[in-house]
Amino acid sequence: MKASNGNKHTLADSGYTAWLSYPVLPQGNAYNQYVKWCGAVKVAEENDTVQAALQEWQRGIESMLGIKVSSKPDGLCIAIGTFQGGNELISGVFAEDTLAKVGPEGFAIRSSEENDCIAVGASSPAGVLYGVFHLLRLIGSLQSIEGLDEVVNPVNGLRMINHWDNFDGSVERGYSGRSFLYEDNRFTRDLERIRDYARLMSSAGINAIAINNVNVHALETLFISKYLPDVSRIADVFRLYGIKLFLSVNFAGPMHEGEVGTADPLDPEVRKWWQSKAAEIYAAIPDFGGFVVKADSENRPGPFTYGRDHADGANMLAEALEPFGGIVIWRCFVYNCKQDWRDRKTDRARAAYDHFKPLDGKFNDNVILQIKNGPMDFQVREPVSPLFGALERTNQVIEFQIAQEYTGQQRHVCYLVPQWKEIMEFNTYAKGEASPVKHIVDGSLWGNRYSGIAAVSNVGNDKNWTGHLLAQANLYGYGRLAWNPELTAEQIASEWISLTFGTDPVVSGVISRILLDSWEIYESYTAPLGVGWMINPEHHYGPNVDGYEYSQWGTYHYADHRGIGVDRTVKTGTGYSAQYLGSNAEHYDSLEECPDELLLFFHHVPYTHILHSGKTVIQHIYDAHFEGAERAAELLSMWTSLKDKVAEGLYLQVENRLKEQAGHAKEWRDQINTYFYRKSGIEDNSERVIY
């Protein structure tokens, strides 16, 4: 899949090159500025990662500017390298106080007329690579590169992608084809595609990837033994681009491999087994990142079997990895999927807090708790998990889902960066008035040793990586937001559009509007007012009002002829609202103060309840679903205006997906509205047809 000169345009038109397409830039002042500086490059290091940065620079500049980059500067040039790498232009441009500001993965860029160069310097080869991608991003979006003088460090230490790929080649919650890592219980031979993937991830700022599903199957248990040489080959590719490889492991591994008859984390033989495995892994992969673990949830094995808790299980693994600098990422998605939901005091939303709040401070220093952004399961709308703010003495990362499991499965466009931004800005009140989630997950609020962001991947072996071309914006946007949570959703969308489609302002304006409106549109024709789960069970695509996974215990939303919603208040409900801190607990518990968009998550109300918007609940349901379907059709109309402005291969991909979305939105509209019309018996005020 390597993009050679002969097939560059073919790959770009398929979407394969994504935001590293390097579209040709228009003639003009910006173009002339770039040609002035970028015709030559000075690199003094043979380090593989620095050389990869050089190759990326040459590829990008030659494609965008149509010029050949000389490696023998005679006049103005770009200088690339580490501060200690022997490039006299780098050492001549940056002062000592600048060097002191650059972190392990950060970089400095300075335009120096005195030295006839724009210098990209860093303390590590990975930082050099990030700096080169940054400069290419500035050029690709027509920003000035004269007068640059900045130090850029990533805000979050861990910026991670979790693959849910299985060894047989399937992908759990995969909506972009099959795995490009595995096929028929063997590792892929296409390391070139893995390298291209690593380039894409590195360019967006990703520094860690777990390559297998958290629901570890029997053969995947052998990744830490029989298949370790194959894992090592992928790690070699990732290393080139500053990415550490992680593995999801089976907590019952000692039993599955038949060497120990138990997985009790306090058993000496179990501890010894994991210590031996850790030594074997690090002998093969010296920079191995560590383990990702899902335990005691959805029938996965874990420490509960032996009367132990999550801290016992995580710490046992952490002790095995600690001598090598490895970490354990322990997922907090833990709940009893066999609970009887007919008991209205039973509440899955409470589970993560109830399990992990009592264990705060009991985890080893190289354990990180991975907490889903909400208390349920990546719904189109749900509150922020109350665990953020509740854990003062425990490393933690937030988990997002780039894969659109409940948000259209990459068949509908749903740009998720605005949702993630909203979550990151949420004020937990954990330390008074200014305690947003973003400062918990970056480690600054509690001074954590480890912190950051993880997300479930949305890629597969489809030619364009993500199935829906516009879903690439979520993958790119996640990486950029993890690097710098202060970026706006608008900025990120603008970057991705320029780097993928070019700099035509008409194209940028249309695609930006499609992306920025899409989350609101998708929410409006699916689950209303935060209620969640009106979707087909198992595969999670398409409307099904009573389709909650465990509907054998009754409907999730408790809708009847009188009203709808889940009572999570303290006085009459599950008490979940009390898991929040400060005024959040009060607002959510109060029917009068609860925000409309989360009303049905926290309260059971009659259909005639008046929202803050002035509408009744039932009228909101009708209006939102009619308007959502209309706006979904408008997305297609907007896209068709670009027919002659976007490469045909890219245009047709998006057109086909938007046609499906427009039709499917009507199906959502009709099924949801009909259900609630028949359930409530209340007419639509606008007298639209509801069957």
Between helix 489-501 and helix 125-140 the angle, nearest 10°, is: 80
Q: What is the model's pLDDT at position 60? A: 98
Residue 279 and residue 25: Cα distance in Å, rounded? Answer: 50
Residues of the chain with pLDDT > 70, as a percent, come to 97
pLDDT at 503 over 60: yes
Q: What is the mean pLDDT of residues 217-221?
A: 94
Strand partners for 108: 121, 151
Cα 444 to chain centroid distance, Å, stands at: 21
Where does the pLDDT of residue 341 fall: very low under 50, low under 70, confident under 90, or very high at 90 and above? low
Residue 401 and residue 372: Cα distance in Å, rounded? Answer: 9
pLDDT at 633 over 90: yes
Closest CA to 664 of 632, 634, 624: 632
Torsion of CA 424, 391, 211, 12, to 10 degrees: 10
**Cβ-contact 514, 493 below 8 angstroms:** no
pLDDT at 670 over 90: yes
Q: What is the model's pLDDT at position 339? A: 63
Q: What is the mean pLDDT of residues 375-401?
A: 97
| pTM exceeds 0.85, yes or no | yes
Residues of the chain with pLDDT > 90, as a percent, come to 92
Q: Each residue of 514-540: pLDDT tens digit?
A: 999 999 999 999 999 999 999 999 899
Lowest mean pLDDT among 57-71, 285-299, 335-349, 656-670: 335-349
Which one-letter DSSP state was computed for residue 384?
P
Detail the DSSP E strand segments found in 254-341. 290-293, 327-331
Closest CA to 394 of 321, 490, 304, 330: 330
Q: Each residue of 144-164: pLDDT tens digit?
A: 999 999 999 999 999 999 999
pLDDT at 684 over 70: yes
Q: What is the mean pLDDT of residues 427-442?
A: 95
Q: Each residue of 181-212: pLDDT tens digit?
A: 999 999 999 999 999 999 999 999 999 999 99
Mean pLDDT of the chain: 95
Q: Which two tokens stand for residue 613?
A: 């918007």
Residue 673 and residue 562: Cα distance in Å, rounded? Answer: 16
pLDDT at 547 over 90: no
Q: What is the model's pLDDT at position 4? A: 38
Instruction: Calculate the alpha carbon distances from 445 to 152, 353, 408, 431, 584 in Å.
Output: 21, 19, 35, 8, 18
Sign of CA dihedral 509, 515, 516, 522: positive
Give the full edge-to-edge strand order of the sheet including 149-152: 41-43, 77-82, 117-122, 107-112, 149-152
- Residue burial 169-193, b: 16+ Cβ < 10 Å; e: rest: bebebbbbbbbbbbbeeebbeeeeb
pLDDT at 12 over 70: yes
Q: Write the CB contacts of 313 (distance below 8 Å, at least 6 apart in sequence).
A: 251, 265, 293, 295, 302, 303, 330
Where does the pLDDT of residue 554 fall: very low under 50, low under 70, confident under 90, or very high at 90 and above? low
Instruction: Calculate the alpha carbon distances from 179 to 115, 188, 219, 463, 633 in Å.
Output: 48, 9, 16, 12, 32
Strand bridging mode 451-456 / 290-293: unpaired
Q: Which two tokens stand for residue 534?
A: 């009106």
Closest CA to 640 of 649, 631, 626, 652: 652
Q: φ and ψ at 270, to 5 degrees? A: -65, -45
Detail the DSSP E strand segments found in 522-627. 563-564, 605-606
Residue 248 and residue 506: Cα distance in Å, rounded? Answer: 44
Q: What is the model's pLDDT at position 612? A: 98
Strand partners for 610: 616
Residue 370 and residue 503: Cα distance in Å, rounded? Answer: 38
User: For the chain, how many residues are written?
Assistant: 691
Residue 25 and residue 34: Cα distance in Å, rounded? Answer: 10
pLDDT at 617 over 90: yes
Strand bridging mode 563-564 / 451-456: unpaired
User: Tokens 């402005």 belong to which residue?
Assistant: 645
Q: What is the model's pLDDT at position 295? A: 94
Q: Each residue of 577-614: pLDDT tens digit?
A: 999 999 999 999 999 999 999 999 999 999 999 999 99
* Catalytic annotation, residues: 298, 377, 405
- Residue burial 503-516, b: 16+ Cβ < 10 Å; e: rest: bbeebbebbbebbe
Q: What is the mean pLDDT of residues 75-99?
A: 95
Closest CA to 255 of 282, 221, 296, 204: 221
Q: What is the model's pLDDT at position 432? A: 85
Where does the pLDDT of residue 1 fall: very low under 50, low under 70, confident under 90, or very high at 90 and above? very low
**Cβ-contact 366, 372 below 8 angstroms:** no
Strand bridging mode 41-43 / 77-82: parallel
Q: What is the mean pLDDT of residues 543-547?
A: 91
Q: Write the CB contacts of 264 (distance below 8 Å, at least 6 apart in sequence).
A: 270, 303, 305, 306, 308
**Cβ-contact 611, 599 below 8 angstroms:** yes
Helix H or strand E segment including 135:
helix 125-140
Residue 418 and residue 373: Cα distance in Å, rounded? Answer: 13
**Cβ-contact 601, 615 below 8 angstroms:** no
